[in-house]
Amino acid sequence: MTVQPKHARRLLQPALSKDYQRNAFKRALCDAQRNIDKLSTQGLKAAYNGIIDAISKGNEEMVDKAIYVATQEKARYFAERIARTEKARAYMDGVMYKYANDPDCIAFKWKLSSRHPCDDICDLYAHADLWSMGEGIFPKDKVPSLPVHPNCMCRLVPVFKGSSRLKSETPKDRILDGGMEYIKSLSKSHRTSLLGENGAKNVDKGGDWRKYIKGFFSKIMTCRIPHDIIQESKITKAFKVAGVSCDFSAIPRGIRVAMKQEVVDVLQGNPKFAEYVKAHGLNLKAEPLRGAYGVTSYYFRGGESIDISINENSFQDKAVIKKAVDRQAKSNFKMPASENEALHYTMSHELGHAIETVAVYGRIAGVSDYDVKSAYLKETGKIKKEIIKIARTIDSNVTNRTYKNWLSAYGQENPREFFAECHANMRCGSPNVLGKALEEWLRRWNNGEKTDVR
């Protein structure tokens, strides 16, 4: 059955029947035309006028054709309205994505579209001072959700610290009073248009304007872009500056973001390591590798790039990773890690290797290629002893014989694994005495101080 516009349905019965009353028909025709003239969408307006013209001529075949055209035009209008509204919503997601975590951006200013068609809540949002920060300005965590209504094309403009737009940088909730100030500044007709006739009367008597204004609801604007995507975008920029190349595309986003964030944090906490990476590069890759869970491929020689590959098949499920790390910690194969830090345990371990290697090659600079291997192993042993000495200053129970009480079985294999496991302990939960000792060792190393305790 053909769907008929509501104004046309009022006309069809009297117009096409033989015994209609001419005056009643004329009144219905005038009412329909008045409603059509209010339309701002030209295509829809033309289609409805086509129905009026066909009805006026009393031609049923023309009426059917005109109604078909109007229903098609109405469907197109609905589709355009949805697309326009969602486009505005996506645009605002982009604005929130860009500025919500910017410490210099403290607020947003509500700006009306130049094609804002009628009086509604958008007018109040754009002109009222609701947070003591200035006209139309909202703290960035208190912005009403956009779009407010279908076809809403309002936008937000970021407001930064020190902006002349700000009346105050400290928000204070005055939504009720600020809204009333704006409403009282309006003409009676404007107030009625905004609140409705009964709403305007009730607000004049002291009623809460929020109960009557068109389109008000308390939902706060949030970015629909997942936090992982936002975080990964920032990490990508940081990697580019730091000299890090990374292809973890084979790993699910949540897991790879945890690993990549660990790289950023370690670089930021170790200036000497970051300096080496900036000069020579750090290449990270996820690919199929043979071996046990968490297997990695690691290559690094002094003066060359650091290459770390991880087994993509071992890092596909968050729950599996957390359970595996917990199981290995309980069996003393690996150091304890908190559940929130378990996803980057392997990356923390491998970065420990990389940091130690940078430190060792700094110590053995100038050694001939023939003697590099033995010199390297000798220095890793020295670093292990230095860390144990520092640990003893924290807890006198730690000695060269007892340190294993705080170390995983994996860390006991050799001095290199000792350093890497201590680093994982330091980075992945509550550090024990060895993790704290490594933290002090790294502080000294990064500051150019002596790392050996006499």
Residue 43 lies in a domain: yes
- Interval 199-229: pLDDT, tens: 999 999 989 999 998 778 778 887 776 777 7
Domain end, chosen from 176, 211, 246, is at 211
* 197 and 62 belong to one structural domain: no
* 256 and 343 belong to one structural domain: yes
* 12 and 123 belong to one structural domain: no
Residue 91 lies in a domain: no
**Cβ contacts of residue 292 below 8 Å, gap of 6+?**
none
* 305 and 249 belong to one structural domain: yes
- Interval 131-184: pLDDT, tens: 999 999 999 889 988 888 777 888 889 999 999 999 999 999 999 999 999 999
Confidence of residue 301 (pLDDT cuts 50, 70, 90): low
* 114 and 259 belong to one structural domain: no
* 283 and 375 belong to one structural domain: yes
Q: How many domains does the chain have?
A: 3
Residue 89 lies in a domain: no
Residue 88 lies in a domain: no
Residue 227 lies in a domain: no
Confidence of residue 400 (pLDDT cuts 50, 70, 90): very high
Please report the pLDDT score of residue 18 as a whole number: 43
pTM of the model: 0.62
Please report the pLDDT score of residue 298 as a whole number: 62
C-alpha–C-alpha distance, residues 193 and 347, integer Å: 61
CA within 13 Å, CB half, 94: 7
- Interval 254-292: pLDDT, tens: 999 999 999 999 999 999 999 999 999 999 999 987 754
Domain that holds residue 264: 234-446
* 291 and 355 belong to one structural domain: yes
Whose structure tokens read 């000695």?
Answer: 399
**Helix/strand/coil (H, E, C) string of 392-432?**
HHHCCCCCCCCHHHHCCCHHHCCHHHHHHHHHHHHHCCCCC
Would you report the helix, strand and coil content of the chain in percent, each value rounded to 5? 60, 10, 35
C-alpha–C-alpha distance, residues 128 and 210, integer Å: 13
* 406 and 280 belong to one structural domain: yes
What's the distance, CA 341 to chain centroid?
20
Beta bridge partners, 139, equal: 107
* 75 and 111 belong to one structural domain: no
Residue 304 lies in a domain: yes
Residue 452 lies in a domain: no
* 256 and 133 belong to one structural domain: no
Residue 23 lies in a domain: yes
* 76 and 158 belong to one structural domain: no
Please report the pLDDT score of residue 15 as a whole number: 46
- Interval 406-435: pLDDT, tens: 999 999 999 999 999 999 999 998 899 999
At how many degrees (to 10) do helices 42-57 and 60-99 cross? 170
* 355 and 254 belong to one structural domain: yes
* CATH number, domain with residue 245: 3.40.390
Percent of the chain whose predicted confidence (pLDDT) is above 70: 91
